Amino acid sequence: MDNYSIHAMISAGWAAGCALGGLTLAGILEKHAIMQAVRHIPLRILVNGTRGKSTVTRLIAAALRAGGISVMAKVTGSAARLIDLHGEEQAIPRKGRASVMEHGWFMREAARAGAEAIVAECMAIRPDTSRAVARMTRPTMAVLTNVRLDHPDTMGPDILSVAQTLSETIPEHGVLLVPEEAFGPEPALAAVLAAADRCHTSVIRVGVSDRIREGARLFPYPMPPQNLALAMEVCSRTGVEYQCALNGMLAANPDPGVVPVLEILLPIARLLIINAFAANDLASSLLLKEEVLAGRMARGLDVPASWALVYNHRQDRPWRLDEAVATAMALEARMILVMGVSSGLVRHRLLTMARRAHTERDRALLRTEQIPIRTISPHPDELGRALQELVSADRQERWGPSREKKPFIGVLMTGNIKGDGMQLTEALLRQAESSDAEAGISRSGCNKE
């Protein structure tokens, strides 16, 4: 080997070493900046869970702000948003896929703005990235909304794996709030409690009082009482009085995936549309539906006699197709309308689940001739046309009586809020805004008098 080649090899090695050293130095400086930010923010609240994280994050931030606490928040649910000290929102800029380093940027921004508190939705769904978010936050208080099966490719194939992943954000020597109701299976709770014990963290199980249930009914969109109870417990522990906190929460913007329940009067039928696109999983979707119906019955309003399911599929979430089929079965859906996936694939999954069904009732529900499956685009007119087919094909007495003498159909929209889900959501809202008076649309799910 000649001297020139040796010199070139040494130079290349030196350059690589300098580059590696530069990256190491950059990492050290970044970590130092984040830790400096942490030291300047005394109250740090990290919200995690399978469902409801964005809503709870928004509730807490709005209530603390109403109570005079300087707070900055970050939500990463249907759309990533930074909520500043004045409650104003801005989209979080991203180049490519989301990275947990975005959380470090948020911490530095909050410290730079002089925030006394931060409320952050955990954006991580893997154990290692969850630990990274927790290290960058050093939470003084954490909220865990629930533990349900989701993201089996990253969080694990069973409920215990999901619980262990979510437990990575439990603070050291801090406080963890979990709901008493609708938290998750007992093994999940046991895993969370064991993790909290290892972290020397106090666990507070938060119940739902009558006062909380009454407060939840005041929201213009479905508000799970458990979510409100968790947010109110944070307020109680930070010195914000209940009514002040509630006023702040009621004035806050909901997450883009959380829209009012719409009741629409069409020429052929009345529709009660429940948007569960942001819920994703079977348990959350059905729980939302039950909460909406319970609220209607408490106000003396009628409820749909039959249901249709609208499912928006994401190609990178293939396992949710089986969730959709299971939801249709539990809902006793009379029609399935799908976006982002072919009706043939859904029919195949129906037949597969029919073969596995354990009861005659399940097998009857899954007979494809009893459940029409149609592919639709994210447009309200196409939704209406598909449902017209359902109404025309069935005897009207099966839909139950109503004041308008029209069938009353429930439409549960589930799957995912991204893409077609958001398009349909926004289109329905635009239609509601443009035809409120003449179409008889009610955003709260109440009949217009």
Q: pLDDT by residue for the chain (449 residues), tens digit each? A: 555 454 444 444 544 444 444 445 455 656 767 778 888 899 999 999 988 899 999 999 999 999 999 999 999 865 788 999 999 998 887 776 667 788 888 989 999 999 999 999 998 888 888 988 989 899 999 999 999 877 666 777 788 889 999 999 999 999 999 999 888 889 999 999 999 999 999 999 999 999 999 999 898 777 889 999 999 999 999 999 999 999 999 999 887 656 568 888 777 788 899 988 877 667 778 888 888 888 788 788 889 888 999 988 877 677 777 778 888 888 888 889 988 887 788 877 776 766 666 666 556 555 545 678 888 998 888 888 888 877 775 544 454 444 446 788 899 998 877 788 888 888 887 776 655 433 333 444 333 22
**Cβ neighbours of 176 (radius 10 Å):** 25
Query: Looking at the domain covering 33-251, what would its CATH class be?
Result: alpha beta
Q: Which fold has domain 262-439?
A: Protein-Tyrosine Phosphatase; Chain A (3.90.190)
Name the segment(s) of the chain with CATH classification 3.90.190.20: 262-439
- Report the pLDDT value the prediction gives residue 361, as an integer from 0 to 100: 58
Q: Say what the pTM is.
A: 0.70
Report d(CA 7, CA 367) in Å as an integer. Answer: 75
- Report the pLDDT value the prediction gives residue 20, as an integer from 0 to 100: 42
- Pairing mode, if any, of strands 89-91 and 81-83? antiparallel
- Report the pLDDT value the prediction gives residue 411, as an integer from 0 to 100: 92
- Report the pLDDT value the prediction gives residue 32, as an integer from 0 to 100: 64
Question: Is 116 exposed, middle or buried, given 0-12, 13-18 or 19+ CB atoms closer than 10 A?
Answer: middle
Side-chain-facing half-sphere of 200: CA atoms under 13 Å: 2
- Report the pLDDT value the prediction gives residue 347, as an integer from 0 to 100: 76
Name the segment(s) of the chain with CATH classification 3.40.1190.10: 33-251
- Report the pLDDT value the prediction gives residue 266, as an integer from 0 to 100: 73
